[in-house]
Amino acid sequence: MTIVKYKAVNPVIGITVLGIAVMLAACDNSSTDSNNISIPTEREYQIISSETNLTDRDYSGNNNTMQARMILKYQLQSTHNDAATLSSPLSTSGNFIITPSLLQFADRAIPLPISNIDERIQSNELSLMIKDGFNLSVNEGEVMALSPIDKPQEQDLAKMFEQWDNLKSLFQQVPMLPVKLEPKVGFSKVSPKDKHLTWTVEQVTEDTLVAVLQGENTESPEQYQKTYGAFEVDRKTGWLNSLVLINQSMRNGRLVNHRLAMAPKDKPFVMSIIWHAYADYDALRIAEDSQRTLNDIHKDNLIYQDMDSQIVQALLPEHQGIIDNIGSWGEDAMKELQLRFVHGLTKKYFSGEVLYQDIQAFDDKNNPIDIQFWQHNRSWVNNYGGKIESASDLLPIGWDNTASKIKKINHISAKLTLIPEKNRLVTRPWSELLAKPYHFGGASLQITLIDANTHLYKVVMRQTAEKGININFSQFNGQMGDAMVDQGYPTWLSASEQDLLNVLFKYGEKHVNSNATAFLLKLTDIPETMSFYETEPQPQMAHTNPVTFMHISDYYKDLANPTSGFDYSRETDFFLTDPSQLQLSVKEISDVKDIKSISDDGHNFYIPMSPALAMSCKPEIEQGFTEGKQPVTWVYDTKALTGPAYHLASPDGVRRYFYDKKIQGKIHCQGDVTWQHVTLQPGERPWLVDIGPWLTQPSMAENPSELLKQYFKIQDDEGTNLTIRLPENSAELSIKDVLVDGKFISVSGAAAKVSIMQISAKPIELPYQFTFKPLP
């Protein structure tokens, strides 16, 4: 094994992140009755860390120079190196065995990315050393020793591990509070490790203590640093509940930002906030309200309804779910799986939580695969563009051939439990809401006038886990955009860092906005009243159903499954429903009476008509000319910028510009094209359209399946054309071969109207002629 000697040096982090976080000791000296408390001797944490070069960031994406995410198990050992027992809270000294069940680490200064999901793990001695874990010795809050359980044969490797601070520090986080603090709100003391840092107790309850560490050193550019940290400890057990530490420092003339979070494994959203903390997102979020862009208010036309058990059950139908790979990591493709389920296609508003439980992977022979997943988020179900969906993000756990196990996954089973929210409509006078905040339990709604001349308002909504307020902004006319909320944190913290603190800590009056969202409203007219919804969970109405999840390619092979609104997010807009919304602004010519020939500049010549109309009508040349010894011809192009049309072109279809020539002929139509319009009633599967009655026409089911897109136009309730979905090999199949259950065609949204093309028996001829301009 060839070892390249690099050293990732971080002198300031050595003082702050390491010097502070590695010496976590008992929280306070207050007495707590632990006689009746079962104190655990082991705990499992997620540890997430990143390092970003702020000097060179260009707000174009993730500028991390280091990223790490890990699940680490701490097991307290006795002095005899066997399992310990605790009759009192965890003390400042102890020995631990720490074992990572998941680790992905990449550092630009280290040429060896490490992942438990790496096919080359058996040849990576560093990964083999890490997966077996470490002995961690702590004395009076100080890390005295960190030694690998499995000593590497390569001595250079052990030495390099000692030098790679960003990697080594991940295993030096000790799950207790670093200093002794009086359990009194407002108590503060200077950090014994750094005179520029101060500890302050922010909150004390019977069970927990929350302390903040902050300060800065601006004495010289070389010593520049800013630090903000928050720590929550369980006073009865001594174990740390949560830790967030943000540090900015100068290194080699560059401003570097280091983030560290430590939280229980089952705490949702922590990992995602740091891992996906993009600079452009932070720049957008911290912009002043006066600098924000406002957009026209979208009219979503959602229908709000009273909740009942039938509605909830209908949103866990029997179709399949999607397995998608939503992430790459480092230089190697790394599987971060997402289970996604389309609950329904409807304009009816719905919100709630979905629990993804009993997750089990299977191979193509339906044998269970021995692989576990870390479910690091909570799943909310909402209506986006008429599609109600939920998703759960998963990271595979374990070091035992994890990569090969992932490749064997054919499908995944899971138990989904849908917990709906109750939505109660409330209407209040606008003047009343402007005069004072509206409260619903711990939730509130506040409207403030910013500029009377432009009718600019700021709307702030605060939510709790039990109560919420939801506004349908479609009731307003004007523009809206996100607004800034002062959450009581230092202004140098990024939006992502404030989000992280909000997820892990709820403390102090100065952070009253930590669960708030805000919007700017610029209204064209002032409403007399405003409607909104009080929301609260309804666990008594929960419904559970098993779901089988398939790889996304296999999922779409089954046309009985509905389309997801997030499949095209990487290519277009995140909330784009499907490709059918990428429609040309050019209106298609669908009636014979509208057919006419066009030239844009006197050198091209084309006849617009829809694919359906092109089935009945085709231009023929009576007097033409040659191009390169070959006669020009008509080429039908459905992808032209001018819309679908017949274009006069060279035989190969490439050349479409001509000079000083003349063409004439006739457009022959089998008959006039008319459309029979049928309004559809909402059903349980609105993405499936019954064309059974139409199939009774002789030999119709035997026609090529591609003709379905010409014979039928299907629209949603807003008149948007929906895409008719066909298999990949549809060119080889007849209409009957692509139908679901023998009579349904599958479309990309909720169908509300179907138009069926009909061709009359009376032929029609339309003459045309054109003379091309000479060369300029």
User: Measured between alpha carbons, how far is 240 from 115 in angstroms, rounded to an integer?
Assistant: 26
Give yes or no: residues 412 and 427 share one domain: no
Give yes or no: residues 47 and 77 share one domain: yes
Give yes or no: residues 55 and 147 share one domain: yes
Does any domain span residue 5?
no
What's the pLDDT score for residue 284? Answer: 64
H helix runs in 547-655, sequence order: 552-557, 611-616
CATH code for position 34? 2.30.230
Task: Tell me the pTM.
Answer: 0.83
What's the pLDDT score for residue 160? Answer: 79
User: Measured between alpha carbons, how far is 273 from 58 in angstroms, rounded to an integer?
Assistant: 20
Give yes or no: residues 78 and 212 share one domain: yes
User: Measured between alpha carbons, how far is 19 from 178 in angstroms, rounded to an integer?
Assistant: 10
User: Measured between alpha carbons, how far is 242 from 278 in angstroms, rounded to an integer?
Assistant: 23
Give yes or no: residues 630 and 566 share one domain: no
User: Measured between alpha carbons, how far is 215 from 492 in angstroms, rounded to an integer?
Assistant: 12
User: How many domains does the chain contain in total?
Assistant: 5
Instruction: Enter the tokens of residue 84.
Output: 């310990």
Instruction: Indicate the pairing of strand 617-623 with strand 662-669.
Output: antiparallel
What's the pLDDT score for residue 99? Answer: 96
Contact 709, 588 (CB under 8 A): no
Within its chain, how far is the Cα of 180 from the centroid? Answer: 40
Residue range of the domain that includes 725 = 673-759
Give the DSSP per-residue string, 643-666. Answer: -SEEEEE-TTS------S-EEEEE
If DSSP codes are grouped into helix, strand and coil, which group holds residue 445? strand
Longest Cα–Cα distance in the chain? 103
What's the pLDDT score for residue 286? Answer: 66
Give yes or no: residues 570 and 602 share one domain: no
Give yes or no: residues 129 and 252 share one domain: yes
Q: Closest Cα partner for 649 from 622, 617, 621?
A: 621
Give yes or no: residues 437 and 523 share one domain: yes
What's the pLDDT score for residue 512? Answer: 53
What's the pLDDT score for residue 568? Answer: 41
The strands making up 712-715's β-sheet, listed across from edge to edge, are 673-679, 753-759, 712-715
Give yes or no: residues 467 and 451 share one domain: yes
User: What's the pLDDT tens digit per position in 704-737?
Assistant: 898 898 889 999 988 889 999 999 888 889 999 9
Does any domain span residue 583?
no
- Boundary of a domain, candidates 529, 549, 577: 577
Within its chain, how far is the Cα of 402 from the centroid? Answer: 24
User: Measured between alpha carbons, how far is 439 from 142 in angstroms, rounded to an integer?
Assistant: 48
First and final CA of the chain: distance in angstroms?
71
Q: What percent of the chain has pLDDT over 90?
A: 52
Residue 699 burial (10 A CB sphere; 0-12, 13-18, 19+): exposed
Q: With the CA atoms of 478, 479, 482 and 484 taken in that order, what torsion angle do they form, in degrees rounded to the nearest 10?
A: -80
Does any domain span residue 445?
yes
Give yes or no: residues 78 and 198 share one domain: yes
> Which residue matches tokens 């207050």?
30
Give yes or no: residues 55 and 159 share one domain: yes
User: Measured between alpha carbons, how far is 15 from 375 in angstroms, rounded to an integer?
Assistant: 34
Q: Could you give the C-alpha distances from 45 to 74, 171, 645, in angstroms and in order?
A: 8, 11, 61
What single-letter amino acid sits at 531? S
What's the pLDDT score for residue 182? Answer: 92
Q: Could you give the C-alpha distances from 767 to 331, 620, 718, in angstroms and in order?
A: 62, 10, 37
Contact 381, 336 (CB under 8 A): no
Q: Closest Cα partner for 271 from 107, 504, 18, 98?
A: 504
Measure the CA angle with vertex 523, ends 517 and 526; round to 5°.
110
Give yes or no: residues 500 and 519 share one domain: yes
Residues of the chain with pLDDT under 70: 1-37, 55-63, 79-84, 122-123, 152-154, 283-287, 327-335, 507-514, 567-586
Does any domain span residue 776?
no
User: Measured between alpha carbons, how far is 58 from 61 in angstroms, rounded to an integer?
Assistant: 8
What's the pLDDT score for residue 572? Answer: 31
> Which residue matches tokens 């066909």?
726
- Boundary of a domain, candidates 577, 603, 625: 577
Instruction: Enter the tokens of residue 167.
Output: 């990697």
Does any domain span residue 6?
no
Does any domain span residue 586?
no
Does any domain span residue 582?
no
What's the pLDDT score for residue 583? Answer: 42
User: What's the pLDDT tens digit per position in 739-771?
Assistant: 999 999 999 999 999 999 888 889 999 999 999
User: Measured between alpha carbons, how far is 757 from 744 in angstroms, rounded to an integer?
Assistant: 17
User: Measured between alpha carbons, how far is 277 from 283 in angstroms, rounded to an integer?
Assistant: 11
Instruction: Enter the tokens of residue 442.
Output: 């711990």
Does any domain span residue 388?
yes
